[in-house]
Structure 1
Amino acid sequence: MKNISKYLKIAVSLALLAALFWIMRDKLSGIVSIIAHAKKPFIAMSVGIFVLCMILQSFRLKLLLDAQGVHIAIRDVTFLTFIGQFFNNFMPTSIGGDVIKAYYASGGTKKKLETFTSVLIDRVLGVITLSWIALAALFLYPDDIANKIVVVIIIIMCVIGTVFTAVIFNKKAARIIVFFERFFKSPRIKDQLQRLYEATHKYRHHKMLLLHAIWISFVAQLMFFYMAYLLAIAISSGVSFTFLMLNMPAISAASMLPSLNGLGIRESGFVYFLGGVMGKTNAFALSLLYLGVMLVMSLVGGVIFLFK
């Protein structure tokens, strides 16, 4: 059943990507021309920004691991972040690499559940800050809304972000984890859920650490948007940074849906959410450049994994 699910997600990704290429078939020559004539210095800067984002994410994870008593050198945490990016290419959804990251991070410690919890909260903080940035942009730059569905997605993200925040900071809300115990007969699973509750709730006693992690997350998210903006400048799309800041969260949220690292869904999201303002040809070209930068960073992670 697991293999069927895996292959189905791969098929969905490839089908969406193939459909997108088919829909854009009359514009492919224009897309190739746009990418070929893209301003290389801006692409290089976007790669540099991506590297800085990965390093910032590593510092965020390092803080969360330290709070759980899992002490890993920042160099190794950075390596794990790049390795996770590499494995994202072969895992279902854009968060699949987190599982691999947690697996290797827990290899040298007895606190395996605490390590997995740290990686989980690391992802959760990313979702929380992404939703807050999107909500702020929604109120500050309403004229940059290209599609009403973006508003719906932002509201859903904020609701999810609020629930996650409550689970982390509120003891009663965090007991929702323990609530699921009643659905399992295995004492081992019940024990793991209890430990997950305790590990998650532990962050409530590290408020300053969480504030630092959230601040890092805000900066990293804004830098990711700026990376996309540099790529947009590279192809002379003419869109503003605030436009991308408002609409990119919807694309990020869509890429978390079951697929192969968001492949196909993410590119379709670029065309759907951005195409109305910058043109579908430019939007598709931007999505391919964005994918290219991600693949380059993935290769770095692959090299680290190979020699580490």
Structure 2
Amino acid sequence: MRLKNAALQTVKIVVSLGLIIFLLKRKSPGELAVYLKNIDLLLLTSAVAVFFLSSLLGAFQWHLLLGAGGVDLRFSATFTYYFVGLFFNNFLPANVGGDAIKIYDVVKEGSDPHRVFALTLLDRVFGITGLCFLAAVASIIVFPGGTIENTGLYLGIFGGLIIAVLAVAFNRKLSGSIRRLSGKIGIWGLGEKIVLVLGHMGSLRDRKPLFAGVVLLSLVIQTLRIMTHVLVGLALGITLGRIDLVHFFVFVPLLGLIMILPISINGLGVRESAGMVLFTQVGIQEELAVLMEFVTYAVQVAVSLIGAVFFFIRKRSGKD
């Protein structure tokens, strides 16, 4: 098992390094350095502030769901665990590895692991669904102009994910069928665990005011995260019109879905390559598209260092 994990990590490192080398060969490091040297520090600081605000609201959203599901924590604890998870997302697979750290921290407080897993998964589902909703609306806006290739495909992906989530969440017959089928999985007691998790997720189905509030909050959070990319783009000197802003609401969610794939080290190289392919469609220069995604990643890492501080303070105090 250790050998297999080491091999997978090696493959991810090779993918990330290979893509970075490929990108650097297309444009000289000196050319990229010129853009970085002239970056607008005020706009860059604004991007950091906006991403921090989105993370603060993300912690609050998770806190709301935990509380509604019967997991009582002080918000200060939720905030700490959320940011520690955000920090570990930089190293763990598929951009969701930090969720495992968050779940572990909450379970240590004495909560049922299946319940915490279910509520954290629900938090992730709200986030992805909110992102897809924004992207679907943006795709509809840009579709008539034909400024983006494959807009119909993107709309189908975003719309399909939204419909699938809504169907499972609110169609009792469908969700019941999924639970029954899951219960038949006998390997390692996995079926029983899945049924427990789905049961905890379904227990909030009738909390419509809660669902409505979390949906609105999720839309705000995802908008702020997309605006982080926009602010970084502006800081690098990219001129954006109204329709360009809408393009970000299509492309950034696509990047988010691509980042879920565990094929690199936290998407490094993949993010920048995909960003170049997408944003050059609307006239952004290759080197600026690559830098925009890399600097946005750096902004996210910088904010996540708050979690690193919490983690190492906890280590020193012997609480782990």
- Band of TM-score, shorter chain: over 0.9
CA-CA distance at 1:235 after TM superposition: 1.3
1:12 has 2:22 as partner: no
Larger mean Cα displacement after TM superposition, 15-24 or 137-146: 137-146
> Structure 2: which amino acid aligns with 1:241?
L
| Unmatched 5+ stretches in structure 1 | none
Aligned twin of 1:55: 56
1:180 has 2:185 as partner: no
Kindly indicate whether the alpha-carbon contact (under 8 Å) linking 2:182 and 2:195 is maintained by their aligned counterparts in 1.
no
Q: Deviations over 1:234-254 (max 9, x none)?
A: 112113322212221111111
Q: Secondary structure at the match of 1:204?
A: coil
1:1-308 aligned within 5 A: 1-25=4-28, 28-142=29-143, 146-149=147-150, 151-175=152-176, 176-186=178-188, 188-239=189-240, 240-258=244-262, 259-276=264-281, 277-308=283-314
Kindly indicate whether the alpha-carbon contact (under 8 Å) linking 1:70 and 1:109 is maintained by their aligned counterparts in 2.
no
Alignment CA distance shift 1:16-1:39 (3 Å): same
> Structure 2: which amino acid aligns with 1:137?
A
Alpha-carbon distance in 1 for matches of 2:57, 2:155: 24
Kindly indicate whether the alpha-carbon contact (under 8 Å) linking 2:23 and 2:273 is maintained by their aligned counterparts in 1.
yes
> Structure 2: which amino acid aligns with 1:122?
D
Alpha-carbon distance in 1 for matches of 2:228, 2:207: 31
> Structure 2: which amino acid aligns with 1:157?
F
Alignment CA distance shift 1:143-1:236 (3 Å): farther
Q: Secondary structure at the match of 1:278?
A: coil
Alignment CA distance shift 1:39-1:117 (3 Å): same
Alignment CA distance shift 1:37-1:131 (3 Å): same
Larger mean Cα displacement after TM superposition, 272-281 or 35-44: 272-281
CA-CA distance at 1:209 after TM superposition: 0.8
CA-CA distance at 1:150 after TM superposition: 5.1
Alignment CA distance shift 1:73-1:234 (3 Å): same
Alignment CA distance shift 1:17-1:296 (3 Å): same
Alpha-carbon distance in 2 for matches of 1:45, 1:300: 17
Alpha-carbon distance in 2 for matches of 1:9, 1:184: 31
Larger mean Cα displacement after TM superposition, 142-151 or 253-262: 142-151
> Structure 1: which amino acid aligns with 2:291?
A
Q: Deviations over 1:171-218 (max 9, x none)?
A: 2222314312323255x4333222112111112121111111111100
Alpha-carbon distance in 2 for matches of 1:145, 1:86: 39
Alignment CA distance shift 1:150-1:269 (3 Å): farther
Percent identical among aligned pairs is: 24
> Structure 2: which amino acid aligns with 1:179?
L
Larger mean Cα displacement after TM superposition, 164-173 or 196-205: 164-173
The count of residues paired between Structure 1 and Structure 2 equals 305
> Structure 2: which amino acid aligns with 1:275?
T
Alpha-carbon distance in 2 for matches of 1:120, 1:51: 22
Aligned twin of 2:318: none
Alpha-carbon distance in 1 for matches of 2:53, 2:170: 29
Alignment CA distance shift 1:69-1:63 (3 Å): same
> Structure 1: which amino acid aligns with 2:266?
N
RMSD: 1.9
Alpha-carbon distance in 1 for matches of 2:302, 2:80: 15
Kindly indicate whether the alpha-carbon contact (under 8 Å) linking 1:145 and 1:243 is maintained by their aligned counterparts in 2.
no
> Structure 2: which amino acid aligns with 1:290?
T
Alignment CA distance shift 1:84-1:151 (3 Å): farther
